[in-house]
Structure 1
Amino acid sequence: MSKVAFLGLGVMGYPMAGHLRARGGHEVTVYNRTPARAEQWVAEFGGRRAATPAEAARGAEIVFCCVGNDDDLRSVTLGADGVFAAMRAGSVFVDNTTASADIARELAAAAQAGGFGFLDAPVSGGQAGAEKGILTVMCGGSESDFDKAEPVIGAYAAKVALIGPAGSGQLAKMMNQICIAGLVEGLAEAIHFGKRAGLDILKVVDVISKGAAGSWQMDNRHATMNADQYEFGFAVDWMRKDLGIVLDEARRNGARLPVTALVDQFYADVQAMGGSRWDTSALLKRLEG
């Protein structure tokens, strides 16, 4: 059992922290910007609620974080009452936020100066994966910090891998989002085409999902897309945030991402339709008008 802290109890962080407590058996202190959410978590899982990020981090061996964006990260780490001022020597900060590679490198340097470790460790698997404790975690950092954190991360993950130095986890997550963007648009177009052709979509997908066209998106989203159901899952707003990070990085490294850029604009169309909180599979909604 380890003494850990978890910052950020959103739709992902809440169950992830829960698995650290219930499945991992760790001593967990939580912090959330909205205290009522932290109080709810403590009532459900036990543990302790802290009033500030720094308070949550005091004495912790590993501090986990899952917040919204780069600015949120700076606030809970480097800001007033931020955790970096309270991290003890030899501890590790594990950032599960999907953020930029630049902020990962910035925080890794600050952690090194403070005498503790840092892993950028964004996750894939969505809310369902977080609730089931079967996320995929892509890490950037040193092997020694990874070796300390990996057994604890395993409480909420099915796959954990060290990709490379600081920033590598975020870059791997960008690749993940590039793949998802293209897959969802392809699935949306296929279902749209099949409907126009008068085919039974469920029968067709049952067949083609067993071949080379098969994917997680096809297995888990085709039925809800066919039923025009989108009030769940990974929101379009979040995907546009992630794709914005991808496209910013591509401008820096010279990568050409024409399909990703196009799908990002398709998601902007979905937002304009009022679908900011719809699941990313709502790309079909755009095609059907």
Structure 2
Amino acid sequence: MARVAFLGLGVMGFPMAGHLAAAGHEVTVWNRSPAKAEAWAARHKGRVAATAREAAEGAEFVMACVGNDDDLRQVCLGEAGAFAGMGKGAVFVDHTTVSAAVTRQLSALAVEAGLGFVDAPVSGGQAGAESGQLSVMCGGTQDDYARAESVIAAYAKICKLMGPSGAGQLAKMCNQIAIAGLVQGLSESLHFAEKAGLSIPEVVEVISQGAAGSWQMQNRHQTMAENHFDFGFAVDWMRKDLGICLATADETGASLPVTALVDQFYKEVQAMGGGRWDTSSLIARLRR
């Protein structure tokens, strides 16, 4: 078992840190709003730290799951940042979905300080975090990854090294690109079924057994039919992720016409007041 710090206790980080404690790791948590950290400690066995640096002191692994590039920089750098508290040889594991550019920048700084660094964004949403069944795509050195893999296993159903620093973030972009087009297609399919006078449950029962079947269809068709979206991965976060995808596509020369279009559809959902709705809320704009 390892000494682990977990930074960021949102809808993903809270249960992920809980799985680490349940697996027997010695866990110290930190969160920007201390109340969440105290709530976590009341439910799980572990210690609360006042700063990211304090949480990282003495930890073999420091896991982070925060909001965006700027949040990650603040958590890592500065006098109160995690890097300042980590001992040489400790490994920083970043579960935040951020740009590959900030990942490479922070990885280089970690190496200069004698630290390991693994970018390890996750897929599976809140449900996957709570059940410990996340897909984790990683970037970094083989040695750093090999050390971190057994700790990440506490909340992963699959964990894979995709390449050097930044490769995990690039793989997560592939994930979000695939989801964006899929959810739009599912939204249009269910909307068409409604307009055609068909039963959504019956349509899904049939088509989900063929080539149209997907996780989104299986897990979201009922709530989409009921116009129920106050759960899951928020539209605001999806737009953040798609913005990263589109910016990276400009850098690499990739063409993402469907992703760019769906990003604008999510912008319309935000304008409808749905920034915190689940990403399956794309169907709501079709029903207006």
Fold similarity call, TM over 0.5: yes
Aligned to 2:100: 101
Within 5 Å, which residues of 2 pair with 1:82-231?
82-231=81-230
Q: Which amino acid in structure 1 is aligned with residue 185 of structure 2?
A: G
Partner Cα separation in structure 2 for residue 37 and residue 46 of structure 1: 14
Aligned to 1:3: 3
Partner Cα separation in structure 2 for residue 220 and residue 51 of structure 1: 38
Tell me the alpha carbon deviations over residues 212-247 of structure 1, each in whole angstroms, 9 at most, x when there is no partner. Answer: 111110000011101111111111101001001101
Partner Cα separation in structure 1 for residue 189 and residue 79 of structure 2: 50
Aligned to 1:16: 16
Partner Cα separation in structure 2 for residue 80 and residue 189 of structure 1: 50
Partner Cα separation in structure 2 for residue 259 and residue 213 of structure 1: 18
SS of match in other structure, 1:154: helix
Aligned to 1:264: 263
User: Is the 8 Å Cα contact of residues 136 and 156 (structure 2) preserved in structure 1?
Assistant: yes
Deviation at 1:203, TM superposition (A): 0.4
Q: Which amino acid in structure 2 is aligned with residue 16 of structure 1?
A: M
Percent identity of paired positions between Structure 1 and Structure 2: 66
Tell me the alpha carbon deviations over residues 147-172 of structure 1, each in whole angstroms, 9 at most, x when there is no partner. Answer: 10001100011110000000000000
Cα RMSD, aligned residues only: 0.6
Aligned to 2:77: 78
Which consecutive segments of 4 or more residues in structure 1 shift more than 3 A? none
SS of match in other structure, 1:76: helix
Q: Number of matched residues?
A: 288
Deviation at 1:79, TM superposition (A): 2.5
Partner Cα separation in structure 2 for residue 228 and residue 57 of structure 1: 43
What TM-score, normalized to structure 1? 0.99
Partner Cα separation in structure 2 for residue 255 and residue 105 of structure 1: 20
Tell me the alpha carbon deviations over residues 172-222 of structure 1, each in whole angstroms, 9 at most, x when there is no partner. Answer: 000000000000000000001111111111101011101111111000001
Partner Cα separation in structure 1 for residue 169 and residue 78 of structure 2: 22
Partner Cα separation in structure 1 for residue 235 and residue 61 of structure 2: 31
Aligned to 2:52: 53
Partner Cα separation in structure 1 for residue 83 and residue 98 of structure 2: 18
Partner Cα separation in structure 2 for residue 200 and residue 115 of structure 1: 60
Which stretches in structure 2 are left out of the alignment for 5+ residues? none
Q: Which amino acid in structure 1 is aligned with residue 13 of structure 2?
A: G
Tell me the alpha carbon deviations over residues 25-74 of structure 1, each in whole angstroms, 9 at most, x when there is no partner. Answer: 10000000111110111111021000011100011000000000000011
Aligned to 1:35: 34
Deviation at 1:116, TM superposition (A): 1.2
Tell me the alpha carbon deviations over residues 106-139 of structure 1, each in whole angstroms, 9 at most, x when there is no partner. Answer: 0110111011100000000000000000000000
Partner Cα separation in structure 2 for residue 211 and residue 40 of structure 1: 44
Deviation at 1:80, TM superposition (A): 3.1
Matching of residue 235 in structure 1 with residue 227 in structure 2: no
Moved more, 83-92 or 180-189: 83-92
Partner Cα separation in structure 2 for residue 125 and residue 143 of structure 1: 24
Q: Which amino acid in structure 2 is aligned with residue 223 of structure 1?
A: Q
Deviation at 1:91, TM superposition (A): 1.1
Tell me the alpha carbon deviations over residues 225-277 of structure 1, each in whole angstroms, 9 at most, x when there is no partner. Answer: 01111111111101001001101101111111000000000000000011111
SS of match in other structure, 2:154: coil
Partner Cα separation in structure 2 for residue 65 and residue 199 of structure 1: 46
Partner Cα separation in structure 2 for residue 150 and residue 132 of structure 1: 18
Which stretches in structure 1 are left out of the alignment for 5+ residues? none
SS of match in other structure, 2:161: strand
Aligned to 2:275: 276
What TM-score, normalized to structure 2? 0.99
User: Is the 8 Å Cα contact of residues 78 and 84 (structure 2) preserved in structure 1?
Assistant: no
